[in-house]
Amino acid sequence: MDARGPAMAQARGHPGSSAVLAERLLNLVLFVTVLLSCIAVIEPSPHDLMMFVLLIACVAARLPFDRRLAPLLILTVVWLVGGAMSLLEVATTEELHPVLNQNPIQYFGTSVYLGVAAIMFAVLFSSGDLIRLKLLRRAYILAAVLATVAGYIGYFHLLPGSDILLSDDRIRATFKDPNVYGPFLIFPIVLLIVEFLGRGFRIVDVMVMAFLLGGLLLGFSRGSWIHFGVSAVVAIAILFAATSSPRMRMRIVFLSVATAIALAIFVIALTSIDSIHAMFLERAKAIQPYDVGTAGRFGLQQQALTSILENPNGMGPFGFANIFGGQQHNVYMQAYLVYGWIGGAAYLTMVVATLLLGLRTARQPTPWQPYLIAAYATFVGEAGEGIIIDTDHWRHFFLLLGLIWGLSVANMKYRRADIRTQTVATAY
């Protein structure tokens, strides 16, 4: 018998070896899944398919569910139960929606999938694993860069047929809509800003930031521009409040002002191009033609409010649009219209609870604080943007949601372990 046999058999049977392999496989699948999130022009997208692989990898790695994630799980379930009840209003409709090319059942199925995704991301990051967070950072930044490269190719007509990457001369890149492409870029930009203010100048990060900011501008999405401004201010404010050192606070203020000046110069330089200048002035107007009138955004929102009060069980997916000829473009109204009073209240509670939770935990010093600050600041902007657009099916919204809950739970564990350490040290 080969002398290596027993040793090899023991190694194969060692529980730690299989756990390490499952962990590495999980991290690889996470990287690929996040990387493919930049492709959202088709449904199901490659990212959607990889999410199921990621779920299997999470189960194989035996990731534990922390009971402190129970509120997120309960609110998600109630939101989806409300949607299932509202679905009865339109479940027999087989006709596809002319814009989204989905039927009501397919729409609800996407909601279920995204709700599961939020829970899964929360579980994935509830340990505060820095390796996993760094993989997320690299994959998301690379995904944003790839999407922006596609957008530049379309905007500057660098390849034949590249107009497909535009929508009314605005970059939509590998997304269906410029209003989704723009917000997708904000989390990596804010993360780079937080790292720049906290860690210092790195030429590669600054170049990537400028590259992504150019793509954000050329999407000509007013909501994205405001979203970015709000998120950047929130991130800087939390960094400032979380820092006790006067010297560090002065550094944050100085670098923030310098960054704002550099950004203003960057925008002025871009808008010096005639075509960009004309579009920028047009999109910068507070009110657009599609905002006014009975069939405009504001008119439809008035109709939506009346419809919410008249339909406690909701109208189901596309029910409002089929009657009034368009969407109301407000995700909170959308929650009540599509998921009923029960689902709408659960969705609104989930957003508010996430905002309060992140506000409490983002200031706490931890090794992963930059990620939590960036995720929370971006979520604040996205929650605000939900007032003027439907975000209930944005993939990156649910990534941010899960990331905030997961890292907040990691904060609680970290603080508890720190208190234990201090207690033991005091005892001795």
Does residue 8 form part of some domain?
Answer: no
What b-and-e string marks burial along 235-250, b requiring 16 or more CB atoms within 10 Å of the CB? bbebbeebbeeeeeee
Of the listed ranges 5-14, 101-110, 150-159, 335-344, the least confidently predicted one is 5-14
In the predicted structure, residue 74 carries a pLDDT above the cut 60:
yes
Over the stretch 240-269, which tens digit does the pLDDT of each residue have?
A: 999 888 899 999 999 999 989 999 998 898
In the predicted structure, residue 96 carries a pLDDT above the cut 50:
no
What pLDDT shows up at residue 426? 47
Does residue 332 form part of some domain?
Answer: yes
What pLDDT shows up at residue 296? 66
Over the stretch 373-405, which tens digit does the pLDDT of each residue have?
A: 999 999 999 999 999 898 989 999 999 999 999
Q: Is the dihedral of CA 158, 163, 166, 172 positive or negative?
A: negative
Does residue 3 form part of some domain?
Answer: no
Place of tokens 């040290």: 425
Instruction: Identify the burial level of 267 via C-beta atoms within 10 angstroms of its C-beta, where 0-12 means exposed, 13-18 middle and 19 or more buried.
Output: middle
Does residue 117 form part of some domain?
Answer: yes
Q: Which residues contact 421 (CB under 8 A, 6 or more apart)?
A: none
Q: For residues 21-50, give the mean pLDDT.
A: 93
In the predicted structure, residue 12 carries a pLDDT above the cut 70:
no
Q: Which residue segment(s) compose the domain that 359 sits in?
A: 13-427
- Longest Cα–Cα distance in the chain: 87
Q: Which helix (H) or strand (E) holds 170?
A: strand 170-171
Ordered alpha helix ranges (H), 61-177: 70-87, 104-125, 130-155
What pLDDT shows up at residue 323? 84
SS (H, E, C) 73-99: HHHHHHHHHHHHHHHCCCCCCCCCCCC
What pLDDT shows up at residue 106? 85
What pLDDT shows up at residue 295? 60
Does residue 285 form part of some domain?
Answer: yes
What pLDDT shows up at residue 181? 96
Mean pLDDT of the chain: 88
Confidence of residue 7 (pLDDT cuts 50, 70, 90): very low
What pLDDT shows up at residue 24? 93
In the predicted structure, residue 331 carries a pLDDT above the cut 80:
yes
Count of the separate structural domains present in the chain: 1
Q: For residues 32-50, give the mean pLDDT.
A: 92
Does residue 88 form part of some domain?
Answer: yes
Over the stretch 277-304, which tens digit does the pLDDT of each residue have?
A: 888 887 777 666 666 556 666 788 888 9
Cα–Cα dist 368/370, whole Å: 6
Please state whether the predicted TM-score (pTM) of the whole model is above 0.95.
Answer: no
Over the stretch 101-114, which tens digit does the pLDDT of each residue have?
A: 568 888 899 999 99
Single-letter residue type at 356: L
Cα–Cα dist 11/210, whole Å: 50
